[in-house]
Amino acid sequence: MQRIDLEKYTPLLAGYTELRAQENHVVSIGFLKGSNVRNVQSTTSGICARVYQHGSWGFASSPDFTDESVRQVIKAASANAAFLDGKQNKGKPDLPAKPLRAEHDFSTNKPRLTQKQLIEFTKQVDQYIAEKYPDLASRYVNLNCLDMEKQLLTSDGSHAYSFNPRALISITMTMDKDGNPVELFDVFGSRGQFEDVFNDPADLYKDIDLLYEQLRHKVEGVYAEPGVKDCILDADLGGILAHEAIGHTTEADLVLGGSVAARFMDKQVASPLISLVDFAHHALGELCPMPIFVDDEGTEAEDAVIIDQGILKTYLHSKESALHYGVKPTGNARAWSFSDEPLIRMRNTAILPGKDSLEDMIASIDDGYYLIRPNNGQADTTSEFMFGVVLGYEIKNGKLGRAIFDTTISGVAFDVLQTVTMVSNDMKWSVAGMCGKKQPMPVGMGGPAIKCKVNIGGR
Protein backbone atom coordinates (compact mmCIF):
# COMPACT_ATOMS: atom_id res chain seq x y z
CA MET A 1 0.00 0.00 0.00
CA GLN A 2 1.23 3.47 -0.73
CA ARG A 3 2.29 5.32 2.44
CA ILE A 4 -0.08 8.24 2.90
CA ASP A 5 0.67 11.44 4.75
CA LEU A 6 -2.42 11.22 6.94
CA GLU A 7 -1.25 14.11 9.14
CA LYS A 8 -2.06 16.61 6.42
CA TYR A 9 -5.73 15.82 7.05
CA THR A 10 -5.54 16.81 10.72
CA PRO A 11 -7.29 20.15 10.09
CA LEU A 12 -10.29 18.22 8.71
CA LEU A 13 -10.80 16.27 11.95
CA ALA A 14 -13.38 18.06 14.07
CA GLY A 15 -14.23 16.30 17.31
CA TYR A 16 -13.01 12.77 18.03
CA THR A 17 -12.14 11.16 14.68
CA GLU A 18 -10.13 8.15 13.54
CA LEU A 19 -8.76 8.17 10.00
CA ARG A 20 -7.44 4.80 8.83
CA ALA A 21 -5.96 3.60 5.54
CA GLN A 22 -5.73 -0.17 5.14
CA GLU A 23 -4.85 -2.84 2.63
CA ASN A 24 -5.51 -6.58 2.95
CA HIS A 25 -3.65 -8.71 0.42
CA VAL A 26 -4.43 -12.41 0.06
CA VAL A 27 -2.69 -15.15 -1.91
CA SER A 28 -4.41 -18.52 -2.10
CA ILE A 29 -3.18 -21.59 -3.96
CA GLY A 30 -4.81 -25.01 -3.76
CA PHE A 31 -4.05 -28.49 -5.09
CA LEU A 32 -6.89 -31.03 -4.87
CA LYS A 33 -5.72 -34.55 -5.73
CA GLY A 34 -2.93 -33.00 -7.79
CA SER A 35 -5.09 -30.50 -9.69
CA ASN A 36 -4.28 -26.83 -9.23
CA VAL A 37 -7.89 -25.95 -8.39
CA ARG A 38 -7.16 -22.60 -6.76
CA ASN A 39 -4.81 -19.86 -7.95
CA VAL A 40 -5.97 -16.52 -6.63
CA GLN A 41 -4.77 -13.16 -5.40
CA SER A 42 -6.86 -10.30 -4.08
CA THR A 43 -6.11 -6.79 -2.88
CA THR A 44 -8.67 -4.83 -0.88
CA SER A 45 -7.75 -1.34 0.22
CA GLY A 46 -9.21 2.02 1.07
CA ILE A 47 -9.67 4.67 3.66
CA CYS A 48 -12.20 5.15 6.42
CA ALA A 49 -13.20 7.67 9.05
CA ARG A 50 -15.04 7.06 12.30
CA VAL A 51 -16.42 10.03 14.23
CA TYR A 52 -17.67 10.09 17.84
CA GLN A 53 -20.24 12.61 18.96
CA HIS A 54 -21.54 12.49 22.55
CA GLY A 55 -21.85 8.68 22.52
CA SER A 56 -22.99 8.26 18.91
CA TRP A 57 -20.70 6.98 16.15
CA GLY A 58 -20.62 7.68 12.43
CA PHE A 59 -18.49 5.71 9.99
CA ALA A 60 -17.78 5.97 6.27
CA SER A 61 -15.26 4.38 3.91
CA SER A 62 -14.12 4.61 0.32
CA PRO A 63 -11.74 2.48 -1.76
CA ASP A 64 -10.00 5.60 -3.13
CA PHE A 65 -7.06 7.32 -1.46
CA THR A 66 -7.54 10.73 -3.10
CA ASP A 67 -7.80 13.97 -1.11
CA GLU A 68 -11.36 14.27 -2.31
CA SER A 69 -12.36 10.80 -1.07
CA VAL A 70 -10.71 11.47 2.32
CA ARG A 71 -12.74 14.64 2.60
CA GLN A 72 -15.86 12.72 1.56
CA VAL A 73 -15.47 9.92 4.10
CA ILE A 74 -14.82 12.38 6.94
CA LYS A 75 -17.86 14.38 5.87
CA ALA A 76 -20.09 11.30 5.55
CA ALA A 77 -18.91 9.84 8.88
CA SER A 78 -19.49 13.21 10.59
CA ALA A 79 -22.96 13.45 9.04
CA ASN A 80 -23.79 9.92 10.24
CA ALA A 81 -22.61 10.75 13.78
CA ALA A 82 -24.53 14.03 13.78
CA PHE A 83 -27.71 12.33 12.50
CA LEU A 84 -27.53 9.73 15.25
CA ASP A 85 -26.56 12.21 17.95
CA GLY A 86 -29.52 14.37 16.95
CA LYS A 87 -31.84 11.39 17.36
CA GLN A 88 -30.28 9.71 20.39
CA ASN A 89 -28.87 12.65 22.35
CA LYS A 90 -26.88 10.39 24.69
CA GLY A 91 -24.76 13.24 26.07
CA LYS A 92 -21.76 11.06 26.85
CA PRO A 93 -18.37 12.64 27.70
CA ASP A 94 -15.21 12.63 25.56
CA LEU A 95 -13.26 9.41 25.13
CA PRO A 96 -10.02 8.82 27.06
CA ALA A 97 -6.90 9.87 25.14
CA LYS A 98 -3.28 8.82 25.48
CA PRO A 99 -1.62 9.68 22.18
CA LEU A 100 1.37 7.75 20.88
CA ARG A 101 3.44 7.23 17.74
CA ALA A 102 4.36 3.73 16.69
CA GLU A 103 5.53 1.75 13.69
CA HIS A 104 5.67 -2.06 13.57
CA ASP A 105 6.53 -3.68 10.29
CA PHE A 106 6.76 -7.47 10.04
CA SER A 107 7.19 -7.59 6.27
CA THR A 108 10.04 -9.72 4.97
CA ASN A 109 13.45 -8.34 4.06
CA LYS A 110 14.00 -11.24 1.68
CA PRO A 111 13.28 -11.07 -2.06
CA ARG A 112 9.59 -11.84 -2.67
CA LEU A 113 8.75 -15.12 -4.35
CA THR A 114 6.69 -15.07 -7.52
CA GLN A 115 3.30 -16.77 -7.82
CA LYS A 116 5.01 -19.43 -9.93
CA GLN A 117 7.49 -20.16 -7.14
CA LEU A 118 4.67 -20.34 -4.59
CA ILE A 119 2.75 -22.74 -6.83
CA GLU A 120 5.87 -24.85 -7.27
CA PHE A 121 6.36 -25.02 -3.49
CA THR A 122 2.75 -26.08 -2.93
CA LYS A 123 2.95 -28.60 -5.75
CA GLN A 124 6.07 -30.20 -4.26
CA VAL A 125 4.27 -30.66 -0.96
CA ASP A 126 1.35 -32.25 -2.82
CA GLN A 127 3.64 -34.51 -4.85
CA TYR A 128 5.40 -35.74 -1.72
CA ILE A 129 2.04 -36.82 -0.30
CA ALA A 130 0.90 -38.37 -3.59
CA GLU A 131 4.06 -40.41 -4.04
CA LYS A 132 4.54 -41.53 -0.46
CA TYR A 133 0.90 -42.23 0.37
CA PRO A 134 -0.85 -43.61 -2.75
CA ASP A 135 -3.51 -45.26 -0.57
CA LEU A 136 -5.14 -41.91 0.21
CA ALA A 137 -8.57 -41.45 -1.35
CA SER A 138 -8.06 -37.70 -1.55
CA ARG A 139 -5.69 -34.94 -0.48
CA TYR A 140 -5.89 -31.17 -0.47
CA VAL A 141 -2.97 -28.81 0.01
CA ASN A 142 -3.80 -25.14 0.40
CA LEU A 143 -1.43 -22.21 0.78
CA ASN A 144 -2.96 -19.05 2.23
CA CYS A 145 -1.07 -15.83 2.88
CA LEU A 146 -2.66 -12.73 4.43
CA ASP A 147 -0.93 -9.36 4.75
CA MET A 148 -2.75 -6.68 6.79
CA GLU A 149 -1.25 -3.20 6.49
CA LYS A 150 -2.70 -0.24 8.40
CA GLN A 151 -2.00 3.46 8.81
CA LEU A 152 -3.89 5.34 11.50
CA LEU A 153 -4.32 8.96 12.55
CA THR A 154 -6.57 9.96 15.44
CA SER A 155 -7.74 13.44 16.32
CA ASP A 156 -6.37 12.96 19.84
CA GLY A 157 -2.85 12.64 18.45
CA SER A 158 -2.02 8.98 17.77
CA HIS A 159 -0.12 8.00 14.62
CA ALA A 160 0.48 4.34 13.90
CA TYR A 161 1.67 2.09 11.10
CA SER A 162 1.54 -1.69 11.18
CA PHE A 163 2.19 -4.52 8.74
CA ASN A 164 0.99 -7.88 10.10
CA PRO A 165 1.41 -10.88 7.77
CA ARG A 166 0.56 -14.54 8.21
CA ALA A 167 1.44 -17.52 5.99
CA LEU A 168 -0.26 -20.90 6.37
CA ILE A 169 -0.30 -24.25 4.58
CA SER A 170 -3.20 -26.53 5.44
CA ILE A 171 -3.16 -30.19 4.47
CA THR A 172 -6.20 -32.44 4.42
CA MET A 173 -5.94 -36.19 3.86
CA THR A 174 -8.84 -38.58 3.27
CA MET A 175 -8.82 -42.37 3.46
CA ASP A 176 -11.58 -44.73 2.54
CA LYS A 177 -12.90 -47.16 5.13
CA ASP A 178 -15.55 -49.59 3.89
CA GLY A 179 -16.89 -46.97 1.46
CA ASN A 180 -16.89 -44.20 4.06
CA PRO A 181 -14.43 -41.30 3.83
CA VAL A 182 -12.34 -40.58 6.97
CA GLU A 183 -10.56 -37.23 6.98
CA LEU A 184 -7.89 -35.42 8.99
CA PHE A 185 -6.22 -32.05 8.53
CA ASP A 186 -3.50 -29.95 10.08
CA VAL A 187 -2.26 -26.41 9.52
CA PHE A 188 1.35 -25.30 9.42
CA GLY A 189 2.90 -21.83 9.33
CA SER A 190 2.99 -18.73 11.49
CA ARG A 191 3.23 -14.96 11.68
CA GLY A 192 5.29 -13.50 8.83
CA GLN A 193 5.32 -13.41 5.07
CA PHE A 194 5.83 -16.69 3.22
CA GLU A 195 9.58 -16.12 2.71
CA ASP A 196 10.11 -15.79 6.48
CA VAL A 197 7.90 -18.74 7.39
CA PHE A 198 8.64 -21.45 4.84
CA ASN A 199 12.02 -22.35 3.44
CA ASP A 200 11.90 -25.78 1.86
CA PRO A 201 8.95 -28.14 1.23
CA ALA A 202 11.01 -30.90 2.82
CA ASP A 203 10.77 -29.07 6.16
CA LEU A 204 7.10 -30.12 6.22
CA TYR A 205 7.62 -33.80 5.43
CA LYS A 206 8.01 -34.89 9.07
CA ASP A 207 4.72 -33.18 9.96
CA ILE A 208 3.04 -34.73 6.92
CA ASP A 209 4.25 -38.20 7.95
CA LEU A 210 2.80 -37.63 11.43
CA LEU A 211 -0.51 -36.44 9.96
CA TYR A 212 -0.72 -39.61 7.84
CA GLU A 213 0.07 -41.78 10.84
CA GLN A 214 -2.64 -40.05 12.86
CA LEU A 215 -5.11 -40.59 10.00
CA ARG A 216 -4.23 -44.30 9.93
CA HIS A 217 -5.02 -44.45 13.64
CA LYS A 218 -8.30 -42.63 13.06
CA VAL A 219 -9.37 -44.97 10.25
CA GLU A 220 -9.09 -47.82 12.74
CA GLY A 221 -10.73 -45.71 15.42
CA VAL A 222 -13.87 -46.02 17.50
CA TYR A 223 -16.73 -43.73 18.43
CA ALA A 224 -16.21 -41.97 21.73
CA GLU A 225 -18.44 -43.08 24.56
CA PRO A 226 -20.74 -40.12 25.32
CA GLY A 227 -20.88 -38.51 28.74
CA VAL A 228 -18.81 -36.48 31.16
CA LYS A 229 -15.25 -37.83 31.12
CA ASP A 230 -11.80 -37.05 32.43
CA CYS A 231 -10.11 -35.49 29.45
CA ILE A 232 -6.82 -33.90 28.58
CA LEU A 233 -7.36 -30.97 26.25
CA ASP A 234 -4.14 -30.44 24.35
CA ALA A 235 -2.84 -26.95 23.53
CA ASP A 236 -5.04 -26.32 20.48
CA LEU A 237 -8.19 -27.22 22.41
CA GLY A 238 -7.04 -25.33 25.53
CA GLY A 239 -6.42 -22.33 23.29
CA ILE A 240 -9.84 -22.45 21.69
CA LEU A 241 -11.40 -22.86 25.16
CA ALA A 242 -9.51 -19.76 26.35
CA HIS A 243 -10.58 -17.79 23.29
CA GLU A 244 -14.13 -18.89 22.56
CA ALA A 245 -15.53 -19.79 25.93
CA ILE A 246 -13.74 -17.40 28.27
CA GLY A 247 -12.26 -14.61 26.15
CA HIS A 248 -15.51 -13.70 24.37
CA THR A 249 -17.47 -13.56 27.62
CA THR A 250 -15.00 -10.95 28.91
CA GLU A 251 -15.17 -8.64 25.88
CA ALA A 252 -16.69 -5.55 27.47
CA ASP A 253 -19.33 -5.08 24.75
CA LEU A 254 -20.57 -8.62 25.41
CA VAL A 255 -20.37 -8.05 29.18
CA LEU A 256 -22.66 -5.05 28.70
CA GLY A 257 -24.85 -7.29 26.53
CA GLY A 258 -25.39 -9.62 29.49
CA SER A 259 -22.56 -12.15 29.35
CA VAL A 260 -22.14 -14.35 32.41
CA ALA A 261 -18.82 -12.66 33.22
CA ALA A 262 -20.74 -9.52 34.21
CA ARG A 263 -21.32 -10.96 37.67
CA PHE A 264 -17.98 -12.74 38.12
CA MET A 265 -15.47 -9.87 38.48
CA ASP A 266 -12.96 -10.57 41.28
CA LYS A 267 -14.59 -13.95 41.92
CA GLN A 268 -13.08 -17.42 41.75
CA VAL A 269 -14.15 -18.65 38.29
CA ALA A 270 -11.57 -21.37 37.73
CA SER A 271 -9.17 -23.67 39.50
CA PRO A 272 -6.26 -21.73 41.09
CA LEU A 273 -4.09 -23.58 38.56
CA ILE A 274 -5.60 -21.44 35.79
CA SER A 275 -4.24 -18.05 34.73
CA LEU A 276 -5.44 -16.77 31.39
CA VAL A 277 -4.07 -13.78 29.51
CA ASP A 278 -4.93 -11.93 26.31
CA PHE A 279 -1.40 -11.01 25.30
CA ALA A 280 -0.88 -7.89 23.18
CA HIS A 281 2.36 -8.70 21.39
CA HIS A 282 4.79 -10.74 23.50
CA ALA A 283 4.14 -13.76 25.72
CA LEU A 284 6.73 -15.34 28.01
CA GLY A 285 9.48 -13.45 26.18
CA GLU A 286 8.41 -14.50 22.69
CA LEU A 287 6.66 -12.55 19.95
CA CYS A 288 3.03 -13.66 19.66
CA PRO A 289 1.35 -15.09 16.52
CA MET A 290 -0.63 -11.87 15.98
CA PRO A 291 1.32 -9.07 17.66
CA ILE A 292 -0.72 -5.91 18.23
CA PHE A 293 1.22 -2.91 19.55
CA VAL A 294 -1.39 -0.23 18.84
CA ASP A 295 -5.06 -0.93 18.26
CA ASP A 296 -7.28 0.71 15.64
CA GLU A 297 -8.35 3.46 18.03
CA GLY A 298 -4.70 4.48 18.56
CA THR A 299 -4.48 2.94 22.04
CA GLU A 300 -1.25 1.29 23.12
CA ALA A 301 -2.02 -2.43 23.37
CA GLU A 302 -1.31 -3.94 26.78
CA ASP A 303 -1.65 -7.48 28.12
CA ALA A 304 -5.02 -8.13 29.73
CA VAL A 305 -4.79 -10.65 32.58
CA ILE A 306 -8.32 -12.05 32.37
CA ILE A 307 -7.96 -14.77 35.03
CA ASP A 308 -5.21 -14.70 37.63
CA GLN A 309 -4.88 -17.96 39.58
CA GLY A 310 -8.55 -18.69 39.09
CA ILE A 311 -9.89 -15.19 39.82
CA LEU A 312 -11.50 -13.05 37.10
CA LYS A 313 -9.53 -9.81 37.01
CA THR A 314 -10.35 -7.79 33.91
CA TYR A 315 -12.47 -7.35 30.81
CA LEU A 316 -11.20 -6.46 27.34
CA HIS A 317 -11.82 -2.84 26.40
CA SER A 318 -12.11 -0.27 23.68
CA LYS A 319 -11.95 3.44 24.54
CA GLU A 320 -15.73 3.65 24.86
CA SER A 321 -16.15 0.59 27.10
CA ALA A 322 -13.20 1.71 29.24
CA LEU A 323 -14.93 5.07 29.68
CA HIS A 324 -18.10 3.25 30.73
CA TYR A 325 -16.30 1.11 33.32
CA GLY A 326 -13.91 3.86 34.45
CA VAL A 327 -10.79 1.85 33.59
CA LYS A 328 -7.89 2.14 31.12
CA PRO A 329 -8.50 0.97 27.55
CA THR A 330 -6.60 -2.28 26.90
CA GLY A 331 -6.00 -1.81 23.17
CA ASN A 332 -8.45 -4.47 21.98
CA ALA A 333 -10.31 -2.42 19.33
CA ARG A 334 -9.52 -3.96 15.94
CA ALA A 335 -11.04 -3.80 12.46
CA TRP A 336 -10.79 -6.46 9.74
CA SER A 337 -10.97 -4.30 6.62
CA PHE A 338 -10.76 -0.65 5.62
CA SER A 339 -14.56 -0.73 5.41
CA ASP A 340 -15.03 -2.04 8.95
CA GLU A 341 -15.31 -0.22 12.25
CA PRO A 342 -13.11 -1.34 15.17
CA LEU A 343 -14.76 -3.84 17.52
CA ILE A 344 -13.49 -5.28 20.80
CA ARG A 345 -11.44 -8.30 19.71
CA MET A 346 -8.91 -10.60 21.33
CA ARG A 347 -5.27 -10.59 20.24
CA ASN A 348 -3.36 -13.65 21.55
CA THR A 349 -5.29 -15.53 24.21
CA ALA A 350 -3.73 -18.32 26.21
CA ILE A 351 -3.78 -20.21 29.49
CA LEU A 352 -0.38 -19.99 31.19
CA PRO A 353 1.71 -23.17 31.55
CA GLY A 354 1.70 -25.13 34.80
CA LYS A 355 4.06 -27.67 36.36
CA ASP A 356 2.91 -31.08 35.15
CA SER A 357 4.32 -33.22 32.38
CA LEU A 358 1.95 -34.46 29.70
CA GLU A 359 3.08 -38.04 30.43
CA ASP A 360 2.07 -37.73 34.09
CA MET A 361 -1.26 -36.24 33.08
CA ILE A 362 -2.05 -39.18 30.77
CA ALA A 363 -0.87 -41.65 33.42
CA SER A 364 -3.28 -40.11 35.94
CA ILE A 365 -6.43 -41.07 33.97
CA ASP A 366 -8.04 -44.52 34.16
CA ASP A 367 -10.82 -43.98 31.64
CA GLY A 368 -10.91 -40.84 29.54
CA TYR A 369 -9.69 -39.13 26.40
CA TYR A 370 -6.69 -37.19 25.13
CA LEU A 371 -8.17 -34.63 22.72
CA ILE A 372 -5.74 -32.97 20.35
CA ARG A 373 -7.18 -31.11 17.37
CA PRO A 374 -10.36 -29.03 17.02
CA ASN A 375 -11.98 -28.13 13.72
CA ASN A 376 -14.27 -25.39 14.94
CA GLY A 377 -15.71 -23.93 18.08
CA GLN A 378 -18.54 -21.81 19.32
CA ALA A 379 -19.46 -20.50 22.73
CA ASP A 380 -22.36 -18.78 24.34
CA THR A 381 -22.36 -15.64 26.45
CA THR A 382 -23.25 -18.06 29.28
CA SER A 383 -19.80 -19.63 28.57
CA GLU A 384 -21.46 -22.85 27.39
CA PHE A 385 -19.21 -24.04 24.59
CA MET A 386 -18.97 -26.61 21.84
CA PHE A 387 -15.81 -27.63 20.00
CA GLY A 388 -15.58 -30.11 17.15
CA VAL A 389 -12.72 -32.57 17.74
CA VAL A 390 -11.15 -34.30 14.75
CA LEU A 391 -8.20 -35.96 16.48
CA GLY A 392 -8.18 -37.66 19.84
CA TYR A 393 -7.32 -40.92 21.60
CA GLU A 394 -8.83 -43.01 24.35
CA ILE A 395 -6.94 -43.15 27.63
CA LYS A 396 -7.31 -46.50 29.39
CA ASN A 397 -5.51 -47.28 32.63
CA GLY A 398 -3.10 -44.41 32.22
CA LYS A 399 -2.14 -45.26 28.66
CA LEU A 400 -3.14 -43.98 25.24
CA GLY A 401 -5.51 -46.34 23.44
CA ARG A 402 -7.38 -46.27 20.14
CA ALA A 403 -8.02 -43.13 18.15
CA ILE A 404 -11.59 -41.79 18.07
CA PHE A 405 -13.76 -40.62 15.19
CA ASP A 406 -14.85 -37.00 14.87
CA THR A 407 -16.74 -35.90 17.93
CA THR A 408 -17.81 -32.81 19.83
CA ILE A 409 -17.10 -31.70 23.36
CA SER A 410 -19.25 -29.31 25.31
CA GLY A 411 -19.67 -27.79 28.73
CA VAL A 412 -19.91 -24.57 30.65
CA ALA A 413 -16.40 -23.12 30.50
CA PHE A 414 -16.36 -21.51 33.92
CA ASP A 415 -17.54 -24.85 35.39
CA VAL A 416 -15.06 -26.89 33.35
CA LEU A 417 -12.17 -24.67 34.43
CA GLN A 418 -13.11 -25.32 38.06
CA THR A 419 -12.44 -29.03 37.41
CA VAL A 420 -8.86 -28.51 36.19
CA THR A 421 -6.47 -30.57 38.28
CA MET A 422 -3.32 -30.59 36.13
CA VAL A 423 -1.71 -28.15 33.70
CA SER A 424 1.23 -29.12 31.52
CA ASN A 425 4.54 -27.31 31.71
CA ASP A 426 4.81 -26.48 28.02
CA MET A 427 3.10 -23.99 25.74
CA LYS A 428 2.09 -24.11 22.10
CA TRP A 429 0.38 -21.51 19.91
CA SER A 430 -2.24 -22.34 17.33
CA VAL A 431 -1.16 -20.61 14.14
CA ALA A 432 -4.37 -20.33 12.20
CA GLY A 433 -6.91 -18.71 14.51
CA MET A 434 -9.61 -16.75 12.70
CA CYS A 435 -12.27 -15.30 14.99
CA GLY A 436 -15.77 -14.36 13.81
CA LYS A 437 -17.70 -11.51 15.44
CA LYS A 438 -19.51 -9.49 12.77
CA GLN A 439 -16.11 -9.31 11.03
CA PRO A 440 -13.43 -12.03 10.69
CA MET A 441 -10.15 -11.40 12.53
CA PRO A 442 -6.84 -13.28 12.71
CA VAL A 443 -5.96 -14.08 16.32
CA GLY A 444 -3.48 -16.14 18.29
CA MET A 445 -4.70 -18.90 20.61
CA GLY A 446 -2.62 -21.23 22.67
CA GLY A 447 -1.49 -22.63 25.95
CA PRO A 448 -0.54 -25.86 27.68
CA ALA A 449 -2.54 -29.09 27.95
CA ILE A 450 -5.09 -29.14 30.77
CA LYS A 451 -6.74 -32.03 32.56
CA CYS A 452 -10.44 -31.44 33.27
CA LYS A 453 -13.89 -33.00 33.15
CA VAL A 454 -15.83 -32.36 29.97
CA ASN A 455 -18.92 -33.69 28.20
CA ILE A 456 -17.99 -35.64 25.09
CA GLY A 457 -20.40 -36.60 22.32
CA GLY A 458 -20.39 -39.98 20.66
CA ARG A 459 -22.59 -42.97 20.10
Region of 74-82, 151-159, 203-211, 283-291 interacting with other proteins (CB under 8 A): 74-82
Residues in region 9-28 near other proteins by CB under 8 A? none
- The minimum distance between CB 342 and other proteins, in angstroms, equals 11
C-beta of 372: minimal distance to other proteins in Å? Answer: 14
Q: Does 410 bind other proteins (CB under 8 A)?
A: yes
Given 388, 418, 426, 428, the residue binding other proteins (CB under 8 A): 388
170 binds other proteins (CB under 8 A): no
Q: Is 174 in the site for other proteins (CB under 8 A)?
A: yes
Nearer Cβ to other proteins, position 42 or 109? 42
- Taking the complex as a whole, the smallest distance from the CB of residue 278 to other proteins amounts, in Å, to 20
Q: Does 119 bind other proteins (CB under 8 A)?
A: yes
Query: Among residues 91, 114, 131, 135, which is the contact residue for other proteins, using CB under 8 A?
Result: 114
SS3 for the chain, per residue? Answer: CCCCCHHHHHHHCCCEEEEEEEEEEEEEEEEECCEEEEEEEEEEEEEEEEEEECCEEEEEEECCCCHHHHHHHHHHHHHHHHHHHHHHCCCCCCCCCCCCEEEEECCCCCCCCCHHHHHHHHHHHHHHHHHHCCCCCEEEEEEEEEEEEEEEEECCCCEEEEEEEEEEEEEEEEEEECCEEEEEEEEEEEECCHHHHCCCHHHHHHHHHHHHHHHHHHHCCECCCCEEEEEEECHHHHHHHHHHHHHHHHEHHHHHCCCHHHHCCCCECCCCCCCEEEECCEECCEECCCCCCECCCCCECCCEEEEECCEECCCECCHHHHHHHCCCCCCCEECCCCCCCCEECCCEEEECCCCECHHHHHHCCCEEEEEEEEEEEEECCCCEEEEEEEEEEEEECCEEEEEECCEEEEEEHHHHHHCCCEEECCCEEECCCEEEECEEEECEEEECCEEEEEEECCC
Of 415-454, which residues contact other proteins (CB under 8 A)? 438
382 interacts with other proteins by CB under 8 A: yes
Residue 116 interacts with other proteins (CB under 8 A)? yes
Q: Output 195 or 253, the one with its CB closest to other proteins.
A: 253
- Contacts (CB under 8 A) with other proteins, residues 268-297: none
Stretch that binds other proteins, among 118-126, 270-278, 283-291, 325-333 (CB under 8 A): 118-126
Query: Nearer Cβ to other proteins, position 215 or 290?
Result: 215
Out of 37, 202, 210, 434, the residue judged to bind other proteins by CB under 8 A:
37
Q: Among residues 186 and 303, whose Cβ is nearest to other proteins? A: 186
60 makes contact with other proteins (CB under 8 A): yes
Candidates 257, 272, 436, 440; binder of other proteins (CB under 8 A) is 257
